[in-house]
Amino acid sequence: METAPPLLHSASVLQRSSAGLGALVSGVREQITAPFAEPTLRLGVTGLSRSGKTVFITALVHNILTGRRFPLFQASAQGRLTAAVLRPQPNLDLPRFAYEANIDGLLSPQPLWPESTWRLSQLRLTISYRPTNLIKRAMPGPHLLNLDLIDYPGEWLLDLPLLTMDFADWSDQVLAAAKHPTRATYAKPWLDALGQMDLNTTQDERAYIELARLYTNYLRACRQKNLMIAQLQPGRFLMPGDLEGSPSLTFCPLPRPRGSLNKSGFFATCALRYEAYKRHVVRPFFRDHFSKLDRQIVLTDLLGAAAAGPAAVEDLQTALTTVLQAFRPGANSWLSKLFRGRRIDKMLFASTKADHLPSNQHDRLARLLSELAFEPANNAKFRGADVSFLALSAIKSTRLAKVREQGRVYDCITGWIEGQGQPKAFYPGELPDSLAELKRGIDAPLAQVRFLPPPNLDQEPQGLPHIGLDRSLDFLLGDLLS
């Protein structure tokens, strides 16, 4: 009776050894072929919902493809980017990022923001450039860099803690959070339905579908209010991607049943589906895609959280810390790649919607983000990664304005506000100087309006207007284009 644990332990050791050997073989193969292949950078683009991932990739690709000059992107400012083209992506099993549809919508007579990220996608942009490095310049050209942009929902990274929890423990945690006063109203329909069920009896499939629907509605309400961000699990319930309608997404957290467990009952079946979700959805994503990234940009809607209140700011900080536990930061060398696998050697944290604030508050916005993400950023630095923070608007939808009222001049922004027929001036208020003050709450109407893309973007002489896009490209790509 006592032989099972050692056998299980031995099996897990063999599995880890096999995985390690496979990674080593893959690393050897990669190092042997690397000198003969075109240089490639796999850039992960992630962030929680509404953080601007799709707009970031679309603006980046469009401005580089059309040869626009970026003043703070050195390779561009110096005229060393000679050409760029879209090429077939290397992973044929991944959906292609819908660049053409996105840019057509933005440049249309009635411009629209592209649809949000809802699944994993990829796009390859190949850049031709003139290097400054003497050794590179002595080598015959052309000098190319394949930029593989990997777009994926940040909500999927929130599933990482599930790998260390069984179904009962995870359920206890989610149910406790659902009873918090700020969330109880949204959880009530789901919790009421749970209270009417015998979780130890057999149920037909309709019961699983209905409870999963009520639980998903609860998660959506929390996301809408920027509440409980770190516990929006499973991530595929909100961003199902190609799994929408799959039985692997029809379960929900449940209270522990009383008495002996019926192995064919509702609780036991949900527990089995939870484990299948981890095995077939969570682990393959980390193994097949996430672990192969070279660099990463994490987009964050800090303004939205600030407008929602102190609880939302706290939740966002917890979510960022949770999400970034999934990353494998560190410096890369041929030897480290061989034995440890690929590491993310550069991480950029960007606070989006910077165009919702006057320019004199952009540095403050970046500084608040650096405080919010201090713990995971410090860990990445300790492990050898290069980390940076900035305020970003991949497509700037506003202009600065001065408004005088009752003898006082206010720094405002002007843009096309959704639902209004003409541009309006908007006073966004003032960000506090520290994260501690932000967590105490603010009275300003930060990020309370939705700006539409400005018209005639295709007529802008410098390309799509932006805030910080050139600085982000210089940090993420600049050293590879030297």
Per this entry, what is the length of the chain? 482
For residue 377, the tally of other CB atoms under 10 A from its CB is 23
Q: So what's the pLDDT on residue 192? A: 96
Q: Rounded mean pLDDT of the chain?
A: 86
Most trustworthy range by pLDDT among 59-63, 150-154, 160-164, 222-226:
59-63
pTM: 0.86
Specify the pLDDT at position 37. Answer: 65
Tell me, what's the pLDDT at 182? 87
pLDDT in tens, 427-461: 888 899 999 999 998 876 665 788 999 999 888 88
Which range has the top average pLDDT, 225-229, 235-239, 272-276?
272-276
In CATH terms, the superfamily for domain 38-152+290-397+459-481 is: P-loop containing nucleotide triphosphate hydrolases (3.40.50.300)
One-letter-per-residue 3-state SS of 410-424: EEEEEECECCCCCCE
pLDDT level of residue 209 (50, 70, 90 thresholds): very high
Q: What is the pLDDT of residue 158?
A: 86
Q: Per-residue pLDDT for 330 more than 60?
A: yes
Average pLDDT over residues 36-52: 86
Kindly tell me if the per-residue pLDDT of 14 is higher than 70. no
| Paired tokens of 357 | 């604030």
151 and 299 in contact (C-beta within 8 Å)?
A: no
Contact 60, 81 (CB under 8 A): no
**pLDDT category of residue 25 using cuts at 50, 70 and 90:** very low
pLDDT given at position 421: 79
Q: What is the pLDDT of residue 146?
A: 98
Q: What is each CA distance from 313 to 40, 228, 318, in whole angstroms? A: 36, 10, 9
Give yes or no for residue 105 having a pLDDT over 60: yes
- Would you place residue 251 in the very low, low, confident or very high pLDDT band (cuts 50, 70, 90)? very high
| Domain extent listing, the chain | 38-152+290-397+459-481, 162-287
Q: Which residues of 315-330 are buried (b: 16+ CB within 10 A; e: fewer)?
A: bbbebbbbbbebbbbb
Of residues 43 and 421, more confidence is placed in 43
Res 447: pLDDT:
59
The CA-atom distances, in angstroms, between 357 and each of 245, 381, 402 are 40, 29, 13
User: Does 338 score more than 50 pLDDT?
Assistant: no
Residue 39 to residues 97, 311, 345, Cα–Cα distance (Å)? 21, 44, 16
Matching residue, tokens 């006057």: 358
- Among 7-21, 37-51, 374-388, 412-426, whose mean pLDDT is lowest? 7-21
What pLDDT does 1 receive? 37
33 pLDDT above the threshold of 60: no
Q: 107-146 pLDDT, tens per residue?
A: 999 999 998 877 889 999 999 999 998 888 778 778 999 9
